[in-house]
A and B are shown apart, each in its own frame.
Chain A
Amino acid sequence: MDPRQERQVSRPEAGGRRASPGSVRRDFQPWNDPTAKPLVEFRNVTKRFGAVVAVDRLSLAIHQREFFALLGPSGCGKTTLMRMLAGFEQPDEGEILLDGVDITAVPPHKRPVNMMFQSYALFPHLSVGDNIAYGLKREGLPKAEIAARVEAMLGRVRLKGMEKRRPDQLSGGQRQRVALARALVKQPKLLLLDEPLGALDKKLREETQYELMDLQADLGLTFMVVTHDQDEAMTMADRMAVMDHGRLLQIAPPDLIYEAPASRFVAEFVGDINLIEGRVTAVAGDLVTLESKSAGVIELDEDAPSCRPGDAITVGLRPEKIALSHDEPGQANNKVAGEIWDIGYLGDMTMVQVMVGGDQGKLFKVSLTNRTRRIERPFAWEDKVWLSWDVEAGMVLAS
């Protein structure tokens, strides 16, 4: 059966648990509730491997029913963080709490936490059914209950009729679902997913993202996903954390990470961005005026700006926030002239590179959404164009 169809059928049955698809669950923001008790807490956790500090005095709280994504470049410590939660690594300092209980010294097989491995780690000598039943057998449950729960889980991950097969007789997508089922059937308090979609091709990855989100919402479980793929993290997560060099740079819902990044690293790591260096000339209320070398005078609207006249700051400008025109825009606050150097046509959108300030100037990325089926494109290489953007578009970035 086509998974999309099944999803559409199952959505209404979920009883509106999810107010709207995606990460926007308006009523679900336990991290803003000071009385909420987090499910997982890292308190000043440090982990070193020899001289390398993998996780550096890190504190973090994850709440019940949250879909939490940990995003970062490879080697940033995100996998170590997850492995400490599963119990495969011991922190050198600090403590890890689950449901208010310190689990720092609890061995992996006694933790109510399950993990879906990046390589899936399916037991090659066991059938699909035995792989899924493995964890339940270790709990010493009655045979009938194990069989019933395995059966139900097989249905949930659409693997009915496959229980006799061996892992090497399955496709990549099927193996992924066995790995997921094997961890889910234990009904863990917390499910860890290490690059859960990394080995799937693009189409399957997109489908599986939504399946994971539905499963998480339906089962009411807490998921923590580690990924280096920002699309994946932004699509699925209620909140995401951007990690680098063993530290969490920002923890926020995906839209805040994108539209209000806490630092220049976060802004550059998540999505495309144009960075403009400049010096503040005036601050009037929320309106900051700055003088930049690459784009002249820029005005931007910043909530309670912390910068003062004379400060050197970096302004970030997302490519889709910039408008492109042949004629000089009349009343835009920010506008600058340039020449098109490159046009990348991507189907749904077009990425235009505009050189501002002559040959040695600065290259601006501008993205245009292709909303009509126009074959003739309005812009071509070497066109003289104007860039313009609102005062709300730019954001001041801490370096």
Chain B
Amino acid sequence: MSTPVPRSSGTGRGLLVAAIPYLWLVAFFLAPFVIVLRIALSDAATDQPPYAPHFPGISQLGEFLGALDLENFRLLGDDPLYWQSYLSSLRIAALTTLIALAIGYPLAYAMALAPKRWQGILLVLVILPFWTSFLIRVYAWIGILRPDGLLDMALMGIGLTAEPLRLLNTDTAVLIGMVYSYLPFMVLPLFSTLQKLDGTLLEAASDLGATPLTTFLTVTLPLSIPGILAGSALVFIPAIGEFVIPDLLGGSDTLMVGKVLWNEFFSNRDWPLASAVAIVLLVVLVLPLMLLQRARGQGEGSVR
């Protein structure tokens, strides 16, 4: 018989365990966020680090706070470059999500319908690209999409096109690269939802007179909505802030907020403006997620 653990130390340890994720969030999310916010409220300066004012110490806190302002955010609203790049990012991310859903759903569905012994292999095939560096895989697309690259050679070889498509450095190339890169994040949650789908529900629908198409529309699709939402979030959120793909595959006119951020930060050395761009991006991403979460919570609430 083991001696019972004293109650106080037990709850103390329990508190510690519960606190770890919060400590993690404070150290690696909240603290950096506060720093970025503070920079966003500062002004650019030729200084080291390149913004002003610097924190002078707790005694002059009032003056310090008075020197912070929202000017950078005002600039984001005034200059069309910024909100256009946000809109463009939203558009490309939304398109990426839709295309990934259109390709990923049938893929995940076929995987879920495949015999059990095949499913493991198919799953490995989906995550196999992660074995290679993301950067290298995007670079590889340059070789495929560039004029007289692999794609052009193949298409002209079988006589489908007469001249190079000139896809590289266009929004289309960005979309191709984004869909390619994020497809697994759509497929995996969809597969796990569809695989768990109770097969007898489909039999019941069919037994009650539903054609295969009706069964899909009235049973499979509504029951896979959680997977669709999870997959879409996993694609949409990283896609909106994506920098590498538009930088490598996009053209000079490809406007994405990740690229703008990079330019402000490294080319213009305007840390405060770059921070403001980042914070607006965060709000743009987090708000719809919070609304979604609340809607889902309410949906469940009405069920209970």
Contact = CB atoms under 8 A, between A and B. Distances in A.
B partners with A: yes
Interface of A: 86-88, 107-110, 113-115, 117, 119, 121-125, 134-135, 138-139, 166, 168-169, 182-183, 186
Interface string B190-218: 00000000101101111111110010001
A138 B210 contact: yes
Contact of A88 (B203, B208, B304): B203
A107 B203 CA distance: 11
Interface of B: 198, 200-201, 203-211, 214, 218-219, 222-223, 303-304
Nearest to B303: A166
A230 B24 CA distance: 60
B303 A108 contact: no
Nearest to B225: A125
B207 A108 contact: yes
Given A117-B200, A117-B203, A123-B219, A134 B303 contact: no
Contact of B200 (A113, A114, A121, A186): A121
B61 to A, nearest CB: 54
B211 A109 contact: yes
Q: Which of B204, B205, B208, B304 counts the most chain A CB atoms within 10 A?
A: B208
A121 B206 contact: no
Contacts of A122: 204
A123 B208 CA distance: 12
Nearest to A88: B203
A5 to B, nearest CB: 32
Query: Most chain-B Cβ atoms within 10 A of its Cβ — which of A86, A119, A134?
Result: A134
A134 to B, nearest CB: 5
B208 A114 contact: yes
Nearest to B199: A121
B209 A121 contact: no
Contacts of B210: 109, 134, 138
Given A119-B200, A121-B198, A168-B303, A135 B209 contact: yes
A121 B214 contact: no
A183 B203 CA distance: 13
Rank and list the top 8 A-B pairs by shortest CB-CB distance, nearest first: A135-B208, A138-B209, A121-B204, A121-B200, A108-B206, A109-B206, A125-B222, A115-B207
A207 to B, nearest CB: 25
Nearest to B222: A125
A86 B207 contact: yes
Given A109-B211, A166-B303, A124 B223 contact: yes
B204 A117 contact: yes
Most A-side CB within 10 Å, residue of B203, B204, B222:
B204
A109 B124 CA distance: 36
A124 B193 CA distance: 14
Given A119-B200, A121-B198, A138 B207 contact: no
Contacts of B208: 109, 114, 134-135, 138, 182-183, 186
Contacts of A115: 204, 207
Contacts of A138: 208-210, 214
Contacts of A186: 208-209
A121 to B, nearest CB: 4
Given A123-B201, A125-B223, A168-B303, A107 B206 contact: yes
Nearest to B304: A169
A109 B219 CA distance: 15
Contacts of A107: 206
Contacts of B218: 134
Contacts of A87: 206-207
Given A123-B219, A139-B209, A182-B204, 8 more contacts: A108-B203, A109-B206, A109-B208, A109-B210, A119-B200, A123-B205, A124-B223, A186-B209
29 contacts: A86-B203, A88-B203, A88-B206, A108-B206, A109-B206, A110-B209, A114-B208, A115-B204, A115-B207, A117-B203, A119-B200, A121-B198, A121-B201, A121-B204, A122-B204, A123-B204, A123-B205, A123-B219, A134-B208, A135-B208, A138-B209, A138-B214, A169-B304, A182-B204, A182-B208, A183-B207, A183-B208, A186-B208, A186-B209
B209 A169 contact: no
A329 B204 CA distance: 60
A122 B304 CA distance: 17
Contacts of A183: 207-208
Contacts of B222: 125
Nearest to A165: B303
B198 to A, nearest CB: 7
B224 to A, nearest CB: 10
Given A86-B207, A123-B219, A138-B208, A169 B200 contact: no
The CB with the most chain A CB atoms within 10 A, among B206, B207, B223, B304, is that of B207
A122 B208 CA distance: 12
Contacts of B219: 123
Nearest to A194: B200
A109 B214 CA distance: 11
A182 B207 CA distance: 11
B265 to A, nearest CB: 46
Interface centre among A138, A166, A186 (most CB of B within 10 A): A138
A210 B211 CA distance: 34
A198 to B, nearest CB: 14
Nearest to B204: A121
A190 B223 CA distance: 29
A169 B303 contact: yes
Contacts of A166: 303
Contacts of A114: 207-208
Nearest to B223: A125
Contacts of A134: 205, 208, 210, 218
A121 B223 contact: no
A394 to B, nearest CB: 46
Contacts of B206: 87-88, 107-109
B52 to A, nearest CB: 57
Contacts of B209: 109-110, 135, 138-139, 186
Nearest to A111: B207
A176 to B, nearest CB: 14
A171 to B, nearest CB: 16
Contacts of B201: 121, 123-124
A117 B214 CA distance: 20
